[in-house]
Structure formats: structure tokens, C-alpha cells
């Protein structure tokens, strides 16, 4: 298809998103000095388009505009055009997304921003069609208009840019110095409960996003207060999502979000971070409830990731596209006829009843499979089957449908390995592996960690992206914070001191490269590219902010190492966001979890002795229970040396709380009971 087209500069890039645009007639530049120097020398404004390779509306805008010769002619004549992969350059994306939100009140991708040659914004939006329609301005109109405005009214353009930069600096430079109170924790719960959809679960109206960090907060709130409604909200959400079309019932894994309120019609792209955090949430739900359905979902996600999103050496790919053959969801949906052809009349009829398959379909004439409002018992009875027989039959049916689906044209896989999102998936796999005592899950996590240590950890510094042998871009806050999470989960799962040592190295790099003396962490490395502002993010988005994850995980590390100074810095980090946390805590729920950890203080469980089976039994009890504010180790830490001399014993268990250690326990049953708080 591209053999007759001329490649532009993007052909030299590694980003799958930039490469998708390498044969556009637009004279694209990657972000860099060359583009901005050209803009200065020719006195042209800069057109910046930011997106990612699995973004549906990015594909639409490319087809409508960037592949169109008329649009390309205007861009090439009047602007210097730059393409940015938001997943490789979240720093650029974050700054200009804030601009878009300031100017329009909303954001999203594709993100479209017009800049002066000194990178100051003067106009922003998201998706623009080729021609104006439905009240949305089109490229053929706004490009000439903005070209004229830039040259005919430069003072106004400069003034807009200056005011926006000042607004950005004001947002980035805010300070908070007060305490976060327990009142904020309860307020956060109340605010979240006020948004809860009691019918279908989730929070807010359509479109609905999984936002797993909200569920993690509810679990901890339930643990802290015993409030059953918190657990019920989380379970309702997890149950309905797993039953809905947002979950891939054939191949496993969750789509990005649901376009409706009942989790039926997904936006079909699958992101690594969503599946990582949902795996973590379903694992914790299992810890609390022991519901086997949650274990099944976790294992299905892990299988999906291993099969479709894993580099041969162990790292994890970023995302899978919503589109295939130019159509959103085509790979995932089914006609009634296709179901019957694969399964046969009898099994196909039962499957169609169970998964709501009809002749007319529920999505553009086809069917998104789902279990919403499915009455398993009635269907089993109607077909004279036991529940077990029905489940076995459907399991075999899904295998047949999976095999049939594998013959279809598959969606594009964005195969770059992002350090940050890999950290999340390592955390989820390590957590699940430890809770379910599953060596396979732990092996997945360990292999990915080995991959990152080999390819992106260079001279005590992380790189943000790896693809085709190239590690590139100085790591951002999220890279260090999320990988620290994964590292600590692996340590708690396997008791491997190398992981604890690596966690300490990541901690040191975090403070050296990102720490703000006023408290909290900047998003970019002190040696990173200087943008309009150096942001210090605290608000949760699709996943928790780097500051909140850093705070919670550094708290855990401080508990494990007995590092009092580190604990003080964790307190500083949380305090630096106290204004927002006290006023609108629902916007920073993971930071609120860090505050809850500080309130709870938690326990350190130290297990030593020569009886390997008893030692493993105690550590297993720590792992299988839901103990969000406790840490544990099978190694005597330095800070414990003065508490007691190790005895000649088969088992010695210390439980330390509030900077004091209780008398060590030598009896296994006593230790297990103490850990369970029963």
C-alpha cells in the first residue's frame, strides 16, 4: 500500500504511532530542535498532533485529514507539523493537555495544539474533521484562519501564549503545607459513593472507565472502617464489568472503557495499564472475599497478556488497537450465523442464550458477547443441564470460538515496551502469584523484571521506552514510581533481597532526579528537556499519579528498611497535596491511600529460623490475607538487630508495630493467628 508513497521524516523513528504516519503527505517532523528552528527561520506557527497508535479517533483524523492532499498542502504551506507519541513523551502530552483543558474545558486524543516557534500555545482542541460539521470546526477552515491570525495579529497571539504559560506555571507551582486529616479519608469515600451507579456499578455516567484505583481505595476503606457498603460498591463494579462487553469473554482482558453506562459496548482497544491494575484489583477482591470468580478473571487476564502482549524476552507491549481492517471492534464481534457455524445448532443455541446473541445484534448488526442479566440457573434448567455441565459446555464452546477468531485479521499491537506500564503489570502478576501461590505468574513477573533491568536500567537511571533494541527517553516519575511498586511486590512475593536492593536504588534515583524540596516529585528528570513548566502531578487519571504511587510505595519501603528519614519525606509528599486532598479527595484517591497508610502505621512481620516449611507457612499467611498496611520479610533487617538476639530455634516471628516489637513467637499456630488479627 505504501510502495508508491513517499516517506517523510517519521520513517526514521521507532514509535509505532509515528511510523503509522510515515507515509502521510504531511511533511511531519518528530518533536525536536530541527522543527522549531525551521519554524523560527521561516516565521511559521507550529502544528502539533499528539496521539498513540491504538487510538481510534487518531486513526479517523489520519484518514480524513493527514492522508488528504488538500489538508496536507495547507499544513505544509503554512505550518511546521510535528507528530508526538503521547506514550513516549507523556511530559509533552501532559503540558499541552492542560492547555487544551484550560482553553476548551475538555481534553482527549488526538490532541491538537498550535504553538509559536518558542513552544507557547495559542489554540488547542482534540479531533478536527477535514470539513466543519455538526458545530465542530474543520481543518480546511481553521488552518487558513490560524495562519492569518498568526501573521496579522502577532501581539494577540503572543498575549494568548503568555497568559496560558502563566496559568500553567501557577498550576505547577502551587504549594500545600497543611496536614491531611482522617476527615479527608471519609470525605473521599462519601464523594465516591455519591457518584456510584447502584444499578451497574462504576462511578459517574457514560462513558464509564474502570479506574481500578477507586476500587483499591474502597478495599482499604473497608479494611480500615469495616464499612460493608465500601466492599459492596467494589464488588458490584467488578462483577458487572466482568459480565459486560468491556470484558473479552473469548480471549480474556478488558477493553479501555465502556461507551454506555452498563459496561456493554466497549471502546475496544486494550491497554496494558488497565489490565494490570484490574488484575491487581480482582486479586485483592479475592483476598477479601475468596470468590473463585475473581481468581478466574485474574488468570484469564494473565493468559491474555502472556499470549498477546509479551515480548519474547519477557517485557510487555503497550496496547492492542480497537480497529482491524479499518473497523472498530471487527475482530471481537460475532453474527448469530457465525456462532452457529462454529458451535453447531444445539451448543450454538445455548451459547446464544447465555451470551445474548441475536440475529439483529447489539453493535452495528453484530453481537458483543456479554453475561449481563444472564440467569445461569434458568438456562441450565431449560436445557436439562446442571450448572457444572453448562459451564463445561460453554468452556469448550469458547475454546472453539477462540480458535475460529484466531483466523481473523488481528488488530495492530503497539509493541513498544514502556517501563512505567511494565512496572504496573509486574506488580499485578507478583501480587497475584503470591496470593494464589502460582509459580507461573511469578515467573511472568520475574522475566519482565529481568528484561527491564537488562534493557532500560542504565547507570542507575531508567529509560522510558524500549523497542527494536533501542532504549530511549529519560525516565519520567511514573517509570520510577511504578517500577518501584513492581519491585516491592516481587520482594514481598519471593523474599528476594536483590529486589529490596533494587527498590532502594530506585528510591535513591527518585530523590536525586525528581524530588521537590517543598515536598513531592516533579514529573520530569532534573536533566530532562526543559518544557514550558516542570509539572508536579497529583491528580489521578486513567491510573494513579506518579506522586501518589511514589508516596505509597516509599512508605512500604520505609517500613521494610526502618528508614525514619524516608518516612518523613513520605509525609512531606502527602502534605504537599493536602489542600487538594482535604477539599476534593476523590480526585486523588491513591494519594489518599498513602495518607491512610500513614494513619494506620501498620505492622512489620519478620520471619526467621531454620524450619523452612514453617517459615514459608508464616510468609504465605501474610501473602494470602488482605493486609494493605503491613509488610513482611524472611530476613532479619538491620533495624531489628537490637530488639532481640536470634535464638537457636526452628522458627522466630517478630511482629512490630508503632516502632516497637513484641516478644518473638516460636509457635507456628500462635504466629498465624497473630498475623490474621483473629
As a whole number of angstroms, the distance between CA 101 and CA 125 comes to 9
Q: Enter the C-alpha cell of residue 672.
A: 498465624
As a whole number of angstroms, the distance between CA 92 and CA 31 comes to 9
What's the predicted TM-score (pTM) here?
A: 0.95
User: Cell numbers 464481534 correspond to what residue?
Assistant: 333
Give me the residues paired with residue 603 across strands: 657
Report yes or no: 19 and 416 within 8 Å, Cβ to Cβ.
no
CA-CA distances (angstroms) from residue 70 to 73, 80, 132? 5, 16, 14
Which of these, 79, 23, 21, lies nearest to 50 by C-alpha position? 21
Report yes or no: 161 and 121 within 8 Å, Cβ to Cβ.
yes
User: What pLDDT is attached to residue 171?
Assistant: 78
Report yes or no: 451 and 458 within 8 Å, Cβ to Cβ.
no
Q: Enter the C-alpha cell of residue 313.
A: 524476552
User: What pLDDT is attached to residue 648?
Assistant: 54
Residues 6+ apart with CB under 8 A from 648: none
User: What pLDDT is attached to residue 645?
Assistant: 53
Residues 6+ apart with CB under 8 A from 631: 492, 556, 559, 560, 602, 603, 604, 605
CA-CA distances (angstroms) from residue 237 to 55, 206, 208? 25, 14, 11
As a whole number of angstroms, the distance between CA 593 and CA 188 comes to 10
CA 593 to chain centre: 17
Report yes or no: 195 and 586 within 8 Å, Cβ to Cβ.
yes
Count CA atoms closer than 13 A to 478's CA, side-chain side: 26
Collect the ranges in the chain with pLDDT lower than 70: 1-3, 174, 639-648, 677-678
User: What pLDDT is attached to residue 642?
Assistant: 53
To the nearest 10°, report the CA torsion of 276, 277, 278, 280. 90
As a whole number of angstroms, the distance between CA 493 and CA 495 comes to 6
Task: Count CB atoms within 10 A of the CB of residue 592.
Answer: 29
As a whole number of angstroms, the distance between CA 668 and CA 678 comes to 15
Phi, psi of 618 (to 5 degrees): -70, -45
User: What pLDDT is attached to residue 1?
Assistant: 47
As a whole number of angstroms, the distance between CA 580 and CA 595 comes to 13
Q: Enter the C-alpha cell of residue 246.
A: 468491556
User: What pLDDT is attached to residue 311?
Assistant: 98
Cis previous bond, 110, omega within 30: yes
Which of these, 300, 214, 280, lies nearest to 626 by C-alpha position? 280
User: What pLDDT is attached to residue 568?
Assistant: 96
User: What pLDDT is attached to residue 396?
Assistant: 97
Amino acid at each position: 500500500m505504501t510502495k508508491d508513497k513517499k516517506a517523510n521524516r517519521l520513517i526514521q523513528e521507532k514509535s509505532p504511532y509515528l511510523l503509522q504516519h510515515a507515509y502521510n503527505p504531511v511533511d511531519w517532523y518528530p518533536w525536536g530542535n530541527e522543527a522549531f528552528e525551521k519554524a523560527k527561520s521561516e516565521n511559521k506557527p507550529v502544528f502539533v498532533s499528539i496521539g498513540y497508535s491504538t487510538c481510534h479517533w487518531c486513526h479517523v483524523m489520519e484518514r480524513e485529514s493527514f492522508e488528504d492532499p488538500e489538508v496536507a498542502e495547507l499544513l505544509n504551506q503554512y505550518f511546521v507539523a510535528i507528530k508526538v507519541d503521547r506514550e513516549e513523551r507523556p511530559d509533552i502530552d501532559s503540558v499541552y493537555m492542560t492547555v487544551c483543558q484550560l482553553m476548551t474545558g475538555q481534553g482527549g486524543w488526538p490532541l491538537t495544539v498550535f504553538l509559536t516557534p518558542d513552544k507557547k500555545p495559542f489554540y488547542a482542541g482534540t479531533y478536527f474533521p477535514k470539513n466543519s460539521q455538526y458545530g465542530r470546526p474543520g481543518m480546511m477552515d481553521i488552518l487558513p484562519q490560524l495562519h492569518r491570525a498568526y501573521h496579522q495579529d502577532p501581539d494577540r497571539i503572543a498575549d494568548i501564549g503568555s497568559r496560558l504559560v502563566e496559568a500553567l506555571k501557577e498550576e505547577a507551582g502551587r504549594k500545600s503545607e497543611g496536614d491531611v486529616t482522617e476527615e479527608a479519608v471519609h470525605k473521599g469515600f462519601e464523594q465516591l459513593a455519591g457518584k456510584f451507579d447502584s444499578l451497574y456499578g462504576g462511578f459517574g455516567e457514560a462513558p464509564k472507565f474502570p479506574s481500578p484505583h477507586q476500587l483499591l481505595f474502597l478495599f482499604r476503606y473497608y479494611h480500615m472502617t469495616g464499612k460493608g457498603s465500601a466492599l459492596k460498591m467494589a464488588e458490584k463494579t467488578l462483577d458487572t464489568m466482568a459480565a459486560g462487553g468491556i470484558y473479552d469473554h473469548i480471549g480474556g482482558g478488558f477493553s479501555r472503557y465502556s461507551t454506555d453506562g452498563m459496561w456493554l459496548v466497549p471502546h475496544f482497544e486494550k491497554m496494558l495499564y488497565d489490565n494490570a491494575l484490574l488484575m491487581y484489583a480482582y486479586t485483592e477482591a479475592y483476598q477479601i472475599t475468596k470468590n473463585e470468580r475473581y481468581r478466574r478473571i485474574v488468570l484469564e487476564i494473565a493468559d491474555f497478556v502472556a499470549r498477546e502482549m509479551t515480548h519474547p524476552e519477557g517485557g510487555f507491549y503497550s496496547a492492542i488497537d480497537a480497529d482491524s481492517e479499518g473497523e472498530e471492534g471487527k475482530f471481537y464481534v460475532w453474527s448469530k450465523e457465525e456462532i452457529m457455524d462454529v458451535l453447531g445448532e444445539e451448543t450454538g443455541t445455548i451459547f446464544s442464550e447465555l451470551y445474548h446473541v441475536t440475529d439483529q445484534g447489539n453493535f452495528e448488526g453484530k453481537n458483543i458477547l456479554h453475561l449481563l442479566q444472564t440467569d445461569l440457573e434458568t438456562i441450565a434448567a431449560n436445557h436439562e443441564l446442571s450448572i457444572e455441565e453448562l459451564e463445561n459446555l460453554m468452556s469448550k464452546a469458547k475454546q472453539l470460538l477462540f480458535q475460529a477468531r484466531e483466523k481473523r485479521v488481528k488488530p495492530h499491537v503497539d509493541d513498544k515496551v514502556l517501563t512505567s506500564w511494565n512496572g504496573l503489570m509486574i506488580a499485578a502478576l507478583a501480587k497475584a502469584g503470591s496470593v494464589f501461590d502460582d509459580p507461573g505468574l511469578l515467573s511472568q513477573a520475574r522475566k519482565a523484571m529481568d528484561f527491564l533491568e537488562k534493557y532500560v536500567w542504565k547507570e542507575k537511571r531508567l529509560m522510558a521506552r524500549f523497542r527494536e533494541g533501542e532504549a530511549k527517553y529519560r525516565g519520567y516519575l511514573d517509570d520510577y514510581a511504578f517500577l518501584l511498586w513492581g519491585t516491592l511486590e516481587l520482594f514481598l512475593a519471593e523474599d528476594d533481597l536483590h529486589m529490596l536492593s533494587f527498590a532502594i536504588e530506585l528510591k535513591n534515583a527518585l530523590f536525586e532526579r525528581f524530588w521537590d524540596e517543598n515536598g513531592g516529585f516533579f514529573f520530569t528528570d532534573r536533566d530532562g528537556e526543559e518544557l514550558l513548566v516542570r509539572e508536579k502531578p497529583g491528580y489521578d487519571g486513567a491510573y494513579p499519579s506518579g506522586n501518589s504511587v511514589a508516596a505509597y510505595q516509599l512508605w512500604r519501603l520505609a517500613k521494610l528498611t526502618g528508614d525514619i528519614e524516608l518516612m518523613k519525606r513520605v509525609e512531606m509528599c502527602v502534605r504537599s497535596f493536602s489542600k487538594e486532598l482535604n477539599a476534593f479527595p476523590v480526585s486523588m484517591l491513591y494519594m489518599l491511600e498513602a495518607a491512610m497508610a500513614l494513619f494506620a502505621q501498620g505492622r512489620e512481620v519478620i520471619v526467621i529460623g531454620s524450619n523452612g516449611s514453617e517459615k514459608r507457612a508464616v510468609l504465605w499467611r501474610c501473602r494470602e490475607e488482605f493486609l494493605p498496611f503491613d509488610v513482611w520479610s524472611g530476613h532479619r533487617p538491620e533495624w531489628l538487630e537490637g530488639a532481640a538476639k536470634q535464638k537457636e530455634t526452628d522458627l522466630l516471628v517478630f511482629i512490630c508495630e508503632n516502632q516497637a516489637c513484641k516478644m518473638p513467637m516460636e509457635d507456628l499456630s500462635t504466629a498465624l493467628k497473630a498475623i490474621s488479627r483473629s
